Amino acid sequence: MPGMESDSFTEKFCPGKTNLLHIHMETDLKLTPQHFLSTSEHFVAMLLNLPVIISTRDPLAALITRHYRHPNLVESTDLLDAWKHMVELYQLVKVNSRLKIIPVDLLETYHNRLEASRACLSVCGLSDNGYAEKWAHEWPRKLNSQGAYKLKVAYNQKDLNYLKTNLGVLWTQLCESESLLRPFLENLGYKELLWWS
């Protein structure tokens, strides 16, 4: 990758392994959910040829965070569309790929974090060398938190009326996506999410 020096994280901790890929929507690459929607063939090729780790969480929590951080995108359904598309792509490639999806909001115990860390190393073909235990111990307690705000408080308190009213069309469309998203999420370990029937 451009700008990666020989003393980069990859070279320090994964000698000879430079095919680790981390895509985040706020990186210098300026990726948006549309990239996953408009470049399916490239994404499928990547999933079939590279180890890929995708961190995820309850789609409702993701929509709430997006709603708070980007109020100009309140009516946009692109994040939900990307979720649905990701699940459809996963169905296509799950057998023939080195893909690991990590539900970060379910990693509440040391054991869960240790399993997830080992799975990430394994999918990349890397040996543990004690890193999984280190990562499991050092896991941040609050991931990427913006503190408390009304929608987040409503989510944590399971206030469905407030969420339905304030998310509007996003709530409706998320609930309409249950038949596609729920089996995928249940397979990851999610149970009784607020938007499930």
Q: Is residue 191 part of a domain?
A: no
51 DSSP 8-state letter? E
Q: Which two tokens stand for residue 83?
A: 């979720």
Q: Is residue 3 part of a domain?
A: no
Q: Residue 69: which residues within 8 A CB-CB, separation 6 or more?
A: 146
Q: Is residue 128 part of a domain?
A: yes
Q: Is residue 120 part of a domain?
A: yes
Full residue range of the structural domain in which residue 48 is found: 9-145
**Residue that the structure tokens 């111990």 belong to:** 137
Q: Residue 44: which residues within 8 A CB-CB, separation 6 or more?
A: 89, 92, 93
Q: Which two tokens stand for residue 13?
A: 């901790």
Q: Is residue 151 part of a domain?
A: no
What is the pLDDT, as a whole number, of residue 144? 57
Q: By C-alpha distance, which of 40, 21, 31 is closest to 91? A: 40
Phi, then psi, of 123 in degrees rounded to 5: -65, -25
Supply the pTM of this predicted model.
0.75
Q: Is residue 25 part of a domain?
A: yes
67 DSSP 8-state letter? H
What is the pLDDT, as a whole number, of residue 49? 79
Q: Is residue 2 part of a domain?
A: no
* Residue type, position 128, single letter: D
Residues in the chain with pLDDT < 70?
A: 1-43, 74, 141-145
Q: Is residue 85 part of a domain?
A: yes
What is the pLDDT, as a whole number, of residue 2? 34
Domains in the chain: how many in total? Answer: 1
Cβ count near 184 (within 10 Å): 19
